[in-house]
Structure 1
Amino acid sequence: MNDSPGWATPGSSPSDGDRQGSPADRPGDDGGAQQPARPAGDPKWSAEQPPPGQWSSPGATPPGEAPPPPAQPAGGWGSRPGTPYGGQYAYPGGPGQWNQHPAAKPGVIPLRPLGLGEILDGSVATMRTHWRSVVPISLVVATVIQVISVLVQKYMLSDLPLSSAEDMTAEEAIDTLGSSLAVSVVNQFIQVLGTIVVTAMLTMVFSRAILGQHSSVSAAWREARPQLLRLIALTLLLALGIILIGAVLVLPGALAGNMGLAVVGFVAWLPLIIWLGIKFSLASPALMLEKSTVIKAFTRSSKLVGGAWWRIFGITLLTGLIAFMVALMVVAPFQMVGIFAFGGGMDALEDGSAQTAWGPLIFSGIGLIIAQTIIMPIQSGVTVLLYVDQRIRREGLDLELARAAGIENYGTTGG
C-alpha cells in the first residue's frame, strides 16, 4: 500500500519502492531492528493498550506445540508474510498474547482488533474531529433528499379524497393505497441514491481519518467519483436480489389466494434477507477502498464476514437501534410543532389533511434533515470500521496502515 487512502485491490503486490520503510521494517525480515519504545505523549499511540493475555502475537507458536504448516498469505496489501487467511488475531479473552508492541493510534482508532465501543467511538470521533468534511456532505445530501420528499408528498397526495375510512368507497381506497405506495417508492428511491453518495464520500473521509489525515469535501468527491457508478450497481443488484427472492417465496401463495402459503413464504424470506444483508454488508467499503469490481466486492464481503456473522449482525443491529432512537428524539418534536402549530392539530390528523399541509411537511423535513445529518455518518463510519477491523483480524492490515501513517518499524521484532 502507498500513502493514498485509495486502498489497493487485494492480490496486488506493491513494489518495494511503493512501501514505506526498508526491508528490515517488515515482519519476518532479520534486519535486527528493535521496536522503539512508546513515545510519551505521542498522539499516534493509543492511550489504552491491550492488557497482557488478551491478544495473540501474530505468527507466535504456543510453548509445547508444533509450529503450524506453511500457508499461503491472504494476498493484497495488509497481509502478514506467512500469516494464513483467517488471521492470527484472537478475540478478547482468546488464547495467546499480543503484547509485542503497543498499538499505534495515528487517527481515530488504535491499529489493532477493535471492540464494539472503539468502533462506535471511532465513528463519532471522526464526526467530531473532521466535521468540516463530514457535516457538509451529510447536510447537503439530507437537505436535497428531504426537499424532494416534501414536494413529492405534497403534490402526489394532494388530490386524494379526505374521507374517513368508514365513508371511503372501494375505488377511493384503491386510489389512496396506490398513491401512498407510489410516494413511498419514490421517497425510498431518493433515499437510496442519497445514501449511496454519502456512503461513497464518507468512506473516503473515514479512510483518511484512520490514518490521522484530513480530507476536504472536494478531495472526498474526487476520490469517490470513479467508483460511484459501481456502488450504484452494487446497491441496485443487492436490492434486486432481495426483491426476486421475495417474489419467489411470497408471490406463489399470494397469486393462488392461499394466505397461509404467502405468510410461510414471507417468514422464510425475512431471515434470508437479513442473512444476505449482513453477509454483503462490507461490500460497499470493499468496493470503494480496494477499487474493485462489483462481483469482487461481494466476494470480499462474504469472505470477511465469514465466521463473524453474529458479531457483525449484533453491531449493525445496535447501530440501527441507536440511529432509530436519535431520529425519534430529533424528529418527533418538529412533527408535533408542525401539526399542532401549523397543521390543524388533531382534526387534521383524523381527516388526513396533515400529511399534505405545508406546515407539518416542512417541520418534519427539517427534523429529518437534522437527524440524517447525524445518523448517516455514524452508520457509514461503523460499516467502514467493521471492514477495517475484519481485515486487521484476518490479514494484519494494521501493519500497512501504520506504514501509510508514517510510523516507522511498527510491528517489527528484535533480531
Structure 2
Amino acid sequence: MQQFRPMAVQPGIVPLRPLSVWEIIDGAFRAVRHNPKVMFGVTVVGVAISVLISAVITWYATPYTTDLLRGIDEGLSPAESDQFASLFGSAYATAFSLPVSLVFTQIITGVLIRSVSQSVLGKTIAPGEVMRGQGGRLARVVGFTFLSVVASLAAGAALIGLVWWVGMASLGGAIALTLVGGLLYLLAALWFSVRTLLVPAGLMLEGGAFWTTVARGWRLTRGGFWRLTGLYLLVAVATAVVGGIIAVPVQLIATFATQDPTLTTLPAVVIASIGEVIATTLTTVFAAGAYALAYIDARMRKEGLDVELARAAAQD
C-alpha cells in the first residue's frame, strides 16, 4: 500500500518541495507572468542601456580594428585585403564591448533572481523596490563573474602556451594536444559552470560573506550534478535557439535594408540593436528564472528550505 503524502504547499509559482527540471522550467515562465513589470520592464531598460553602450563602443572601435586587419595577409590584393578587413573588423571590435555586456547581464540577472525568490512565496516586488539596498550584493555577483572569467582565460592561456611549447618540438604533437586539450578544456569549463551555477543566486539572496557563500553554492551542487547539468544545457540550448530566431532575421533585415553587410552604419546598428535588445531580454529573463529556482530547489533538497518557506507563507 502506498504511503499517503500530503499535497505540497504552493503559495506562489512552484510547490514548496523538491522540483523536477520541468517544474523549474515551468516556474521560470510563471515568474514572468507573476511579476512582468520587473521581469520584463526592468530587464528591457537594463538591456537597452547595455546594448546602447556596447553599440557605441563597437562603432567607435571598428575603424581601429579594421585598420589592424587590413594588410594582415600579404598574399591578398589591396581590394581583397579591404574586403577582409571590412567584414571582420566590426566582429573583432565587439570584443571591446564584452565587459559592458557582462556587467549589465549579471546586474540584471541578480535583480531578476530577487524577484523570482519573492514570486515563490506569492509576493510581488515593485520595480522601484527591487534594487533598493542591493548594491553590495550585486557587486558580489559581478565580482564572482569577473573572477570566473579571469580563471577561464588563465586556463585557456596556459593551454595555448603549452601547445606553442610542444609545437616548437613537434607539429603533430601540437595538433594532438590542441584536439585533446581543447576537448578537456570544454569539459572542464562545463564542470566548473555547473558546480558554480548556484553561486550568483546565493550571493544575491543570502547576503553572507563572499567566500562562505561561494563555498556553500559549491556544496549545494553536490549530489545533483547531473540534474543541474541537464538543466544548464537545456537552458543554454533554449536561449541560443530563441536568441538566434530573433537576432538573425533582424540582422538580415538590417543588412538588406541598409545595404551594409558589415552592420557598421548608424541605421544598420540601430536595427540590429533592436533585435539584440529583444533577444537578450527574453533569454536573460528565462535563464535567471530557471537558475534562481534551481538554487531554491537545491536548498529544499539539502537544507529543508521548503519547511521554512511554508512557515513564512503561512505567517503572511
TM class by shorter-chain length?
0.7 to 0.9
CA contact (8 A) 1:204 1:223 kept: no
Question: Partners of 2:153 and 2:160 in 1: how far apart?
Answer: 10
Listed one character per residue, the Cα deviations across residues 145-182 of structure 1 (whole Å, up to 9, x for unaligned) are 11122222222114626979843599979988996575
Aligned-partner SS, 2:240: helix
In the other structure, the counterpart of 2:185 is: 269
Shift of 1:360: 2.3
Instruction: Decide whether aligned partners of structure 1 residues 169 and 333 sit closer, same or farther in structure 2, where only a CA change above 3 A counts.
Output: closer
Equivalences for 1:8-407 in 2 at 5 Å?
99-158=4-63, 160=66, 166-167=76-77, 183-257=93-167, 258=171, 259-260=174-175, 261-342=177-258, 344=259, 348-349=260-261, 354-406=262-314
CA contact (8 A) 1:286 1:387 kept: yes
Bigger radius of gyration among the two:
1
Residue type at the aligned position of 2:134? A
TM-score normalised over the length of structure 2: 0.87
- Structure 2, gaps ≥5 residues long: none
Listed one character per residue, the Cα deviations across residues 231-285 of structure 1 (whole Å, up to 9, x for unaligned) are 1221111111112222223322125535323443322211111101100110011
Residue type at the aligned position of 1:361? V
CA contact (8 A) 1:158 1:356 kept: no
In the other structure, the counterpart of 1:67 is: none
Cα RMSD over matched residues? 2.8
Shift of 1:377: 1.2
Question: Partners of 1:402 and 1:105 in 2: how far apart?
Answer: 8
Question: Partners of 1:379 and 1:296 in 2: how far apart?
Answer: 24
Question: Partners of 2:254 and 2:178 in 1: how far apart?
Answer: 39
Residue type at the aligned position of 2:18? P
Question: Partners of 1:397 and 1:102 in 2: how far apart?
Answer: 16
Question: Partners of 2:179 and 2:97 in 1: how far apart?
Answer: 27
Question: Partners of 1:249 and 1:209 in 2: how far apart?
Answer: 44
CA contact (8 A) 1:199 1:380 kept: yes
In the other structure, the counterpart of 1:59 is: none
- Structure 1, gaps ≥5 residues long: 1-51, 54-96, 409-415
Question: Partners of 1:168 and 1:311 in 2: how far apart?
Answer: 54
Shift of 1:404: 1.4
CA contact (8 A) 2:198 2:217 kept: yes
Question: Partners of 1:407 and 1:308 in 2: how far apart?
Answer: 31
Question: Partners of 1:115 and 1:245 in 2: how far apart?
Answer: 34
Question: Partners of 1:289 and 1:308 in 2: how far apart?
Answer: 20
Task: Give the percent of matched residue pairs that are identical in Structure 1 and Structure 2.
Answer: 27
TM-score normalised over the length of structure 1: 0.67
Question: Partners of 1:287 and 1:309 in 2: how far apart?
Answer: 20
Number of aligned residues: 305
Question: More helix by proportion, 1 or 2?
Answer: 2
Listed one character per residue, the Cα deviations across residues 5-63 of structure 1 (whole Å, up to 9, x for unaligned) are xxxxxxxxxxxxxxxxxxxxxxxxxxxxxxxxxxxxxxxxxxxxxxx95xxxxxxxxxx
